[in-house]
Amino acid sequence: MVNRLITIFYKEFTTINQAAILLGLFTFFSQILALVRDRLLASQVGVGMTLDVYYAAFRIPDIVFALAASLVSVTILIPFFYRSKKQKILIPIIASLKNSYKMFSLHFFIGMIVLSLVVALLLPVLSPMIAPGFDAEQIRLLVQMSRIMLISPILLGISNLFGTITQASKKFFVYAAAPVLYNFGIILGVIAFYPWFGPQGLVYGVILGALLHMGLQVPVVIKEGYKVFFTMSIDWSSIRNIVAISLPRTFTLSVSKILIAVFVALASQIGSGSVSIFNFAWNLQNVPLHSLV
C-alpha cells in the first residue's frame, strides 16, 4: 500500500492537461488549508499582541525572499536547466565549467546566508520601522521571531531550485503538493508547538513548513542523479544575464512585499489586533485570486 502511494506521488505526468488540472486542484486545496490555518490561529492564539507580532515577523523575511530567493524562481531557471540537464550536475549560481554548460553554484546560498545574517543583526533597527506602533516588549519579540523566520527564505530558495528539477522531470504531483505541506507545517506549529514554546512555536511551524516544502522534492533530485558541490569557477557574465532576466519579477514581488509592510506599519498604529485583522482580510481575498490564477 505504501509503495503504491509512493509510486502515485512520484508519478511522471506527460501531458500539459494533466499537469494543469493537478496544479489547479492542489492550489485550491492549499488555499482552503490556508483558511483552516488562519482559523486555527484566530482560535488558538487569538487576535491581539502575539498574533500581531507573528504576522509582522513575516515582513522582513518576505522582503529578503522577494529580493534574493526569487532569482532562483522556477520560471527563470527552467531554460537554463534544460541546457545543462544532460550534465546531471546541479549548482546554485551560474558557473562556467570546462564543457561550457551554465549551472548554479553554492555561492548563491552562501550569499543568502550572509544576507540573512546581516539582516538579523539590523533587525533592532528595522523592526520599529515595520511596526512603529508596537511597544518595547512587542519589538523585542518581533526581533526574536523575525530572526528565527529568516531561515525560511533560505529553505524556500533551495526549494525553488529543486522545483526546477521537479517540474523538468514532470513530477508535478510533488511540485503541487509542496505548498500544501508548507501550510501543514504552520498548522502543526499552531496545534503542537505553540502550547509548548509559546509565540516562538508559531515561527517553528513556519520553519517546519519551509523544510517540508523543500524536503518533499529531495527524492526527485536524488533519483534524477543530480549532485551539489562547491565551485570557485564563476561566469559573471552569465550571472548578470540571470539577474537581468529576473529583475522584472523580483521588482514586482519586492514592491508587493514592501506595500504589505507599509500596510502592517500603518495597522500597528491603530491598536491591538489591527495587524492580525489586516492579514486575515488579505489572506481571505487572496483565496479566489490564487485559486483562479
pLDDT tens-digit map of 100-124: 333 444 566 777 788 889 999 999 9
The pLDDT of 86-113, averaged and rounded, is 48
pLDDT in tens, 183-239: 999 999 999 999 999 999 999 999 999 999 998 888 887 776 665 555 555 555 656
Round the average pLDDT of the chain to a whole number and report it: 78
Q: 228: closest CA among 164, 162, 150?
A: 162
d(CA 163, CA 156): 10
Q: How far apart are CA 284 and CA 38, in angstroms?
A: 9
The answer on pLDDT for 247 being more than 50 is yes
For residue 41, what pLDDT band results from cuts at 50, 70 and 90? very high
Q: Which of 75, 93, 112 is nearest to 228 (CA)?
A: 93
Q: What is the pTM of this model?
A: 0.81
